[in-house]
Amino acid sequence: MFDLIIRNANLPDGRQGLDIGLAGGRIAAIEKSIAATAGEEIDASGRLVSPPFCDPHFHMDATLSLGMPRMNVSGTLLEGIGLWGELRPLLTKEALVERALRYCDLAVSQGLLYIRSHVDTSDPRLVTAEALLEVKEKVAPYINLQLVAFPQDGYYRAPDGIASLERALDMGVDIVGGIPHFERTMEDGARSVEALCRVAADRGLPVDMHCDETDDPMSRHIETLAAQTVRFGLQGRVAGSHLTSMHSMDNYYVSKLIPLMAEAEINVIPNPLINIMLQGRHDTYPKRRGMTRVRELMAAGLNVSFGHDCVMDPWYSMGSGDMLEVAHMAIHVAQMAGIEDKHKIFDAITVNSAKTMGLEGYGLEVGCKADLIVLQAADVIEALRLKANRLFVIKSGKVISRTAPRISELFLGGRPASIDIGSDYVPSAPGR
Ligand SMILES: [Zn+2]
């Protein structure tokens, strides 16, 4: 009756010791002890089973290009954009596909099965869009990949910005992007937001803009984005990525802005690893963190999800396709280390991201898709602390990746012979 049963699982919401039965690509049962047997069984042994991770903000055309053609010396966003501009004319479709597929292999091993990637449309050759549309089809059996038409060099500022973005959408790219803070003037930025929201409304597509990725407290394109979202009736279908200027904005102004964003049901996508690395670069000390106001936005009821943004590319030399690493950084930068806080942070890389991406059948309830991960951690709190090992990654009821548990042998005479890095030493305090 079942294709696969996971025994003795702990769930992200705190339920413990449950069996999960998968059949026909869906979750068919979640019960204390499923009497039936299945072709394959996994003993979770009281470990956390979660829906897979979702990354709502990535750049798959740039990933794994570190060092091509050179390294980013200043470490700034602007040098990164310049460096990408040097690399772009050298890109070939074959090399783009090969790098993206290699990243997707890594993503699967990390339990990351849903990715929204921006695709740079600035080069009118559009090899980036061609390549990632091919990748999207190739990885569809194991990764749900959404693509955003992203005018990296500016919708108005790049010579072919407008036409190239339209052509990418004609080719089948799913979402309308933008970068208002990189247009030549604040006015051009605001006009680009309006024009791109109109394109999305006309084509019936969602919007996901790089918005206010700057330390400038006067960069206020998110206000325009919220207003145009309401004007064009796009509520709930628009994402504001980064929003780092909100970190530096005047508090009174933010008290007006956040309700406007809530009215427009803006999906907020901070990118903690990249924000902490790139923002505040022009500061001496004190040095701003630069990430947007996560706690306040969540408290106002906005849907906040975290993106990985970059892995080994012109902007970020680090990264490992690990959304728990992203969440771990978010806990630190947002200073959200309480028990409730950590649950909210875990939601931001799972259910909130799924909402941002509009995923159907995502979750851990009967009837949801049989896409699950088993982690080497007892619960959400431990998974975040340890960036826990992904023991099993399951897609449509089938194991597509497996990693051996991390158990260290000890040779200490009089001390235990081994230690499970998750559970063997922790205090019993709640929310340990
Ligand atoms: Zn980005």
| pLDDT tens figures, 171-183 | 999 999 999 999 9
Structure tokens at 233: 């009736």
**pLDDT surpassing 90 at residue 242:** yes
**pLDDT surpassing 70 at residue 432:** no
Within its chain, how far is the Cα of 155 from the centroid?
Answer: 24
**pLDDT surpassing 80 at residue 425:** no
Contact indicator for 44, 6 with CB cutoff of 8 Å: yes
**What is the distance in A from the centroid of ligand 1 to the CA of 241?**
7
**What is the distance in A from the centroid of ligand 1 to the CA of 270?**
10
| pLDDT tens figures, 23-78 | 999 999 999 999 999 989 999 999 999 999 999 999 999 999 999 989 999 988 88
User: Which candidate, 322, 332, 315, places its Cα nearest to that of 274?
Assistant: 315
**What is the distance in A from the centroid of ligand 1 to the CA of 58?**
6
Helix (H, G, I), strand (E, B) or coil at 321: coil
What share of the chain in percent tops pLDDT 90?
95
H/E stretch holding 21: strand 18-23
Show which residues are catalytic: 213
